Amino acid sequence: MIVKKKNFLILLTVLFISLLITYSNHFNNGFHFDDTHAIVNNVNIRNIKNIPEFFVNTKMVSSSKDHWGLRPVVTTSLALDYWIAGGLNPFYFHLSTFIIFIGLLILMFFMYKKIILKSIKHPYTEYLLLLTVGWFSLHTVNAETINYIISRSDVISTFFIVLSFCIYIYFPSKRRTYLYVLPAMIGVLAKETIIVLPMVLFVYILFFEKDLSVTDVLKKRNFKTIIKTFFNLLPLILGIVLVQSYTLIKAGSIAGLSNNLSHYIQTQPFVWFHYFISFFLPFNLSGDTDWTVITNFFDDRLIAGYIFLATLVVITIKTSKKKQTRPISFGLIWFMFALLPTSLAPLSEVMNDHRMFFPFIGLVFSITYGIALYLLKFELKIKSSTKSVYFLWFGIFCVLGAYGYGTYQRNKVWLNEETFWYDVTIKSPKNGRGLMNYGLTQMSKGNYAIASEYFNKSLVFYPNYSTLQINLGVLNSAMGNIIKADEHFKRAISLKPNDDLAYYFYARFLNKNKKDNEAIKNSTNALKINPYNLVNRHLLMQIYYDKKNWEKLKDLSNKTLKLVPNDSLSLKYLSLSKGKKTKLILALEDVKIKPTAEKYLNISVLYYMDKKFNQCIKASEKAIELKTNYAEAYNNIGSSYNALGIYEKAIIACQKAVDLKPDFTLAKNNLNYAKEQLRIQKEGK
């Protein structure tokens, strides 16, 4: 027994260290996809005092109106992470998810143990349990859930499902206290998949406590047993339904339901088949797939899915007949039941790789247990050969090592937005959203040609996608195509008139192009639609500041600080509104502290914008004193003389700028303008 315990601890240590190594490169991976609206731009998680309101206010879960709902346990966990991290440090968010993941693995060990001990007695049972949990912990598919921070909803809800399950099966004498119902009710507030718990518990009771098979359930003599089992689980069902009803009533609707119901459901057997194959060969994982519903009922993919589903059901029925093979059946039933919530609700995405996390708890148990049963047939033969024993252990570690290596490599894909979305364009080339988002990463780097290429590819698949139209507007604005940019922004608003982002980006564009009144109108619309998106508030503050509308700036700053105390930008604008300090005043104060040529150049630009051209010239001359041959300063002098109509001096200054910087296009244009105006002036005389 001492040797056995020692070997168990060694195996446990090896697997735990393997898990740490496997995920060692994921803790600093960035925020992705829905993380943006749920975490990065969600001002509500920045104040830990908001936690009670997370349980009643559907608008607290996201900065995006499209994703308002009620998952207070998840939002609370994010607020705690933000508080502990002191900001948006992804390390702490990943650490939090990882700790919950480890807790889940521990619970899985004990859940599997209880089930196995009701089926077989063997001295190597605990090794089997460790290997089963170890396989799940290192499985490459789970990288899609563990790396995706907002997908911790899957980890949390699964944790509470397994916790409730364990309490029920380990403490049968305490069932009348209904303690096992509490974790389930908490789990509902993380994700709706908790509804699967009564279903799997029902099967557990029939299989392992009532000793019934699937076919026995259909027999008349067992009717009373089935009804009694149902009523025993009724408190659990009512508890879940009660909390779920509350969240649905508060939310008003279920977000993300946009597919044709019949087409969606008929596609799911093939999706299940894909998930099953991915368990063994997780080579084509994608953070955002390009799968769509299959409309033709006789499509060969659907036929393959139906055959797979029928085979799965047959195996489930057959393996349920014997006590020894019943865990295989139970694991397959867990796999199928866990997929039902996302298979019956017509979500916008037909399949998603992170949806495999919860179902794989059953599948990994079924597959591992099945393999173990098969090997037990050759137990004596294997034991009699040292080579066979070593070969078996070598094979096990090769398999686990391969999955761990795959996970480690998959973590690299989730490093940042560019690596993530580039992988999506490769794995899901027909995903317009993926193409657009990769284009965004290139636009942020100034690679406008590449960004345009990917935006146009996306346009083929998503011609009426409001977000794509916004990004095309931003891109054209950056490239100087003002008319096209304006068209795209207006198109985005027409496609989604109740979306604050379309108004926000259009307002930002208008403000940049000095169309102040239109900018205020659109920015105000964005704020009315979604007051919880901080960028809407910050933009309107900036516009008020530029317009020197001190009272409105002060009022908006104070209101924002009530929502987000200690928001640095709001505090800054509040201070500026009280002192009525313009950018020019701030720049003049700053240059006195530490004069630089660049600061004087900035002051000259501000003077020019205020049409104080003589002051602009003086500030530019100050810049030249500190930095001889400063082409930009000479250009500003030339621009000011052009504005004053003193073209001879404008020509001298602009010519100097061009001489210093031959590729200075703006200076060349100013020089040509001065020469042309001087010619016209002389001809007029």
Tokens, residue 313: 């059901």
Band the pLDDT of 3: cuts 50, 70, 90: very low
Q: Is the pLDDT of residue 333 over 90?
A: yes
CA dihedral of 102, 341, 354, 109, whole degrees rounded to 10:
20
Least confident segment among 16-25, 253-262, 341-350: 253-262
Q: What are phi and psi of 347, to 5 degrees?
A: -65, 160
Cβ contacts of 660 within 8 Å, gap of 6 or more: 629, 630, 631, 634
Q: What is the mean pLDDT of the chain?
A: 93
Q: Give the largest Cα separation in the chain, rounded.
A: 115
State the Cα–Cα distance between residues 36 and 195, nearest whole angstrom: 28
Q: Is the pLDDT of residue 386 over 90?
A: no
Residue from 492, 496, 518, 498 nearest 507 by CA: 518
3 vs 643: which has the higher pLDDT: 643
Q: Where does 482-527 show beta strands of DSSP type E? A: none
Residue from 357, 359, 353 nearest 339 by CA: 359
pLDDT tens digits along 145-173: 999 999 999 999 999 999 999 999 999 99
pLDDT tens digits along 549-601: 999 999 999 999 988 888 889 998 898 898 888 888 888 888 999 999 999 99
Amino acid, single-letter form, for residue 384: S
pLDDT tens digits along 196-240: 999 999 999 999 999 999 999 889 999 999 999 999 999 999 999
Cα–Cα separations (whole angstroms), residue 554 to 123, 369, 506, 580, 658: 73, 66, 24, 10, 44
Q: Is the pLDDT of residue 55 over 60?
A: yes
Q: Is the pLDDT of residue 139 over 50?
A: yes
Amino acid, single-letter form, for residue 253: S
- pLDDT score at 245: 93
Q: Is the pLDDT of residue 2 over 60?
A: no
Percentage of the chain lying above the pLDDT 70 cut: 98
- pLDDT score at 255: 62
Cβ contacts of 453 within 8 Å, gap of 6 or more: 439
Cβ contacts of 314 within 8 Å, gap of 6 or more: none
Residue indicated by tokens 């879940």: 240
Band the pLDDT of 685: cuts 50, 70, 90: low
Tokens, residue 436: 């657009």
Residue from 158, 157, 106, 152 nearest 133 by CA: 106
Give the residue-averaged pLDDT of 642-657: 94
Delineate the domains of the chain, giving CATH numbers in brackets: 2-30+89-410 (no CATH), 451-583 (1.25.40.10), 585-684 (1.25.40.10)
Give the residue-averaged pLDDT of 289-317: 95
Whether 334 and 365 have beta carbons less than 8 Å apart is answered as yes
- DSSP H or E stretch at residue 59: none
Give the residue-averaged pLDDT of 366-386: 91
Tokens, residue 485: 């940019």
Cα–Cα separations (whole angstroms), residue 630 to 102, 313, 624: 60, 78, 6
State the Cα–Cα distance between residues 83 and 671, nearest whole angstrom: 56
Cα–Cα separations (whole angstroms), residue 2 to 8, 166, 386, 387, 500: 10, 28, 21, 24, 65
Q: Is the pLDDT of residue 299 over 60?
A: yes
Percentage of the chain lying above the pLDDT 90 cut: 84
Q: Is the pLDDT of residue 1 over 50?
A: no
